[in-house]
Amino acid sequence: MASTSNTENASSSNTVSNVEEEARARLCAEFAAIAGTNSGETRRHLAEHGWDVERALNSFFEADMDKLFEEDLQENEGSPKPKRQKVQEKPAQACIDLTGDSPSEEDNHKLSLISWNVDGLDTNNLPERARGLCSFLVLYTPDVVFLQELIPSYIDYLRKRAVSYMIIEGGEEGYFTGMMLKKSRVKFVESEIVAYPTTQMMRNLLVTQATFKGQKLCLMTSHFESCKGYAEERMKQLRVVMQKMKDAPDDVTSLFGGDTNLRDTEVAKVGLPSSVCDVWERLGKEEHCRYTWDTKANSNKTVPYVSRCRFDRVYFRPAAKEGVPRLAPDHMALVGLEKLDCGRYTSDHWGIYCSFTAG
C-alpha cells in the first residue's frame, strides 16, 4: 500500500514539474523573441528574476549603451547628462544639427515621412548605424519620422545630432517606439501612450496630435507583437489602431506607420475601415517596395533561411470634412538599401519613405 502511495506522489510531482516546464518554455520563447538571446542566456536571465519576463527584460536592457556612442558625443563629455524626457522641446546648447536642410520649393507643401524599425537591440556597429539613420534624415528631410526598437542611448544620440526635430518617446525603459517632428514644419499639440492590455512584449501605441500647414494630423506608430505564434495579439493591436483612425474627427488626417509584423491573412481577418487605406496598396503594390524584412537582400541578421515579408506598413485616413485640404499619398520608396562603411546596413529592416500631396 505504501509503495502505491509513493508511486502516486511521484507521478503527481512529475505532472506539476512538466506543467511548470511548459510554462517556462513559453516564457523563454517570449523573452528570446524580444531580446534575441540564445536558450542558455534566456533561461539564465529569467531564472535570475524569478521567471518574471518584464523584470528580466528591463534588467537585460539596462546595460549602459552610452559608451558605444562615446566617439560621436565626446564634445559633450564634460557636461552633466540631462534627465531624459518623453517629449523633448529644447535642445542643449552644445547640440550639433545634422538635419537642418529645408525641402525644395516644389516639395514645400508635401507632407513626407519615414517609418523605420532601427533595430536598436542589435548593438553591433550601433554608432555607425545611428549615423546612417541621420544621413537619411539629411537626404530626405522628412517632416515626420516613426521609429521602432529604440533604446535610451539611441534617443540620446538623436537628440544631439538632429536638433531640428522634436522627439517624442513611447517609453523610457528597455526598448520602445518614438516620433520625430520637423520643428519648422510640423507643430506638436499633444501626445499619449495607449496601452495594449494583453501584450507580452512591452508593446504600445504612441499617438501624437499635430498640425502641418494648418492641417490637423493624428500621427501614430507602434511595434506590434513579434513572431508567428502571436497572430491573435497582433490582430488585437491592429484593431486598436484601426479604431483610433476611424474615430478621429473628420477634420483630422490620420497616419499610422510602424513595424506591424502582420501577415496579409491577419489583415484580411481584421479588415480595414472603408476610410483607411494601406499606402503601398493604394500606390499600386509596386514590387520594388514590397518587402521591408528581406533576409535574402539584408545580411544584418545571420539566419539559416530566406524570409521576405511586408512587416512594416503605413496606413492613411484623409480628412473628410468639406473645406479641409485632403492629403493623398503620391510616392513610396524603401530606404537604407546601401551598406554602410562598416559593412552592415542601417537596420535589419528597410525603412519606408512616403510623401503626401494636397488633392
d(CA 201, CA 216): 32
d(CA 196, CA 201): 10
- Whether 259 is catalytic is yes
116 three-state secondary structure: strand
**Nearest alpha carbon to residue 280 among 251, 240, 306, 309:** 309
Overall size of the chain counted in residues: 359
d(CA 133, CA 130): 5
Assess contact for 234 and 261: CB atoms under 8 A: yes
The string of DSSP codes covering 251-306 is TEEEEEEEE----HHHHHHH---TT-EEHHHHTT--GGGS-SEETTT--SS--SS-
d(CA 73, CA 131): 12
Q: Which of 259, 294, 312, 348 is catalytic?
A: 259
Catalytic residues: 259
